[in-house]
Amino acid sequence: MEQNTAPPAVEFGAHDAKHFPERSSSLICKQNKRANKMCAAQEQQPYEPEDQSQRISDGQGSANQTDEEKSAYAVAADLPDGGVVGWVQCVAAFLLVLDGFGFITAFGVFQTIYVERLGKPLQTISWIGSMQIFLLFLLGTISGRAIDAGYFRITLVIGFVFQVGGIFGASFSKTYWQVLLSQGIATGIGNGMHFTALVWLVSQYFSKRRGLALGISSCGAPIGAVIFTLMAKQMIRSASVEWTLRAMGFLVLFNSVIVFIIARPKPASRASAPLLDLPAFKELPYLLFTIGMFFTLLGAYFAYYYVPQFGKKQLKLNDDEALTILLIMSAVGVTGRLIPPYIADRSIKPLRTLVVSIFLSSINLYAWPGVKSQPGLIVWVIAYAFTVNAVQTLFTASMGEVTSDMSKLGVRIGMVFTVISFACLAGPPIGGALVDMAGGNFLYAQMFAGSTMLVGGFLVALAKVKQSGLDGFFRISHEA
């Protein structure tokens, strides 16, 4: 099996189905002279997705193939495209996303609570939530290497220990540093260890329907956020914050046991591969895309962390009303993760759809200061949640369009994750600092978030222009 040095992505979209395994395509091209010419041409062309089954049917391999090449054929041809075992792996991936991104997305519940209980300013509390996302993306590359090397279950168990231990540790924490170490760093490490596993499992069992399977699995993030927000809404008042966290910890523990039991990874070889591909940054489309996504995600998570606080401070909502807003925001995310990727798959491709989603998210953030009532806030979170979830789902699916060497796609995805992890770490605290600097007014932070996403959108759009030309950018066709 060909090794992928980094995970395809947690925020995965419909087009991820068509990126695996790229090496099988190059092997088939060795069959005859015509195929060799095609391969040579593809090295100079941006990636265009193609059907996995077509690659396999083009040839059965030559007699002088090495054992490694024959193994690549076997892996590609053996994909069952679902089945009972395959859909069970989809369930396992869904639970991993639910426990990981779902818990992180619901951090807005604790943001308000910790500001009041720990007596710290918003920017300080924000480091707890941003640390979780930072470690998730940063460690995703490392855990991906471990899983590729055959250490799937060891990686899974290490992640479970840190994730569950961090949540339970937070329930006993009394100071800011204790909460940061437990809920911020420990759970972040746990989620980072799981980051690759959820995509890796599904990718082994699906070919044509991999996009559907990954899309269903990714819905664990908004659904998990809804579940954890509902738990907080019902339990914090009737019980306590401590027992709310413990209940969440028991839920994550229960799901972890299920995942460990039902996960059935296929054997992986222990071959090594490079962790970095620095020459990739010499390719202008890839470089612009990477910088653009840094600016995009610098502002993307601000609203998720600060909407409850905005509702309470600016609109005078009570705790239940503020949590209801976050609940609506999380639930709408399901539509944002399914509809835009479907449109991209059927018509205009992921990168164009991503550009549109980023610009719409930026417009929504610029419109946020105009929200003056609870109904207005509900309308706003519905609009923003739809577009920003589309961004999170589409950006990894778009990377195939801005790289010329698809045999290194996994490495290049990992490098983008490393870069954007620092944006996820810094974005929410910067927003919190701007709120504190303005004496509790959110205007500066809202403009900061909207502006960073606007800059990111222009850079990602420019990456598409460099990839296909200006005419190609406006040619609304799946082939362009």
pLDDT digit string (tens) for 331-341?
898 898 888 88
Q: What are the φ/ψ torsions at residue 403 (nearest 5 degrees)?
A: -130, 140
Average pLDDT rounded to a whole number, residues 330-354: 84
What pLDDT sits at residue 410?
66
Q: How far is CA 475 from CA 126, 142, 278, 470, in A?
A: 42, 38, 31, 9
pLDDT for residue 72: 42
Q: Which is nearest to 255 in space by CA: 194, 213, 324, 211?
A: 194
Is a pLDDT exceeding 80 seen at residue 44? no
- Per-residue model confidence as pLDDT tens digits over 83-131: 788 888 889 989 998 999 899 988 888 888 898 889 888 889 989 999 9
Mean pLDDT of 274-297: 89
* Torsion over CA: 437, 443, 449, 452 (sign): negative
Q: Of the segments 42-46, 146-150, 267-271, 301-305, which one has the largest average pLDDT value?
A: 301-305
Ranking 288-297, 430-439, 466-475 by mean pLDDT, the lowest is: 466-475
Query: How far apart are the C-alpha atoms of 410 and 266, rounded to whole Å?
Result: 19
List of residues 6+ apart from 440 with CB closer than 8 A: 313
pLDDT at 184 over 50: yes
pLDDT interval class at 210 (50, 70, 90): low
CA gap 370, 479 in Å, rounded: 40
Residue with tokens 């090495």: 66
What pLDDT, on the 0 to 100 scale, is given for residue 370? 95
CA distances from 450 to 109, 134, 363, 430 (A): 23, 21, 7, 13
- Give this prediction's pTM: 0.74
Looking at residue 243, its pLDDT comes to 94
Show contacts of 358-362: CB within 8 Å, 24+ apart: 358/296, 358/391, 358/453, 358/456, 358/457, 358/460, 359/454, 359/457, 360/387, 361/300, 361/387, 361/388, 361/391, 361/453, 362/450, 362/451, 362/453, 362/454, 362/457
pLDDT classification of 150: cutoffs 50, 70, 90 = confident
Mean pLDDT for 54-74 is 41
- The predicted structure's pLDDT at residue 69: 41
C-alpha distances (whole Å) from 32 to each of 80, 127, 199, 231 are: 28, 56, 34, 60
Instruction: Select from 1.10.579.10, 1.20.1250.20, 2.60.260.20, 3.20.20.140 the CATH code of 83-474.
Output: 1.20.1250.20
Average pLDDT across the chain, whole number: 79
As a whole number of angstroms, the distance between CA 161 and CA 163 comes to: 6
What's the full length of the chain, in residues? 480
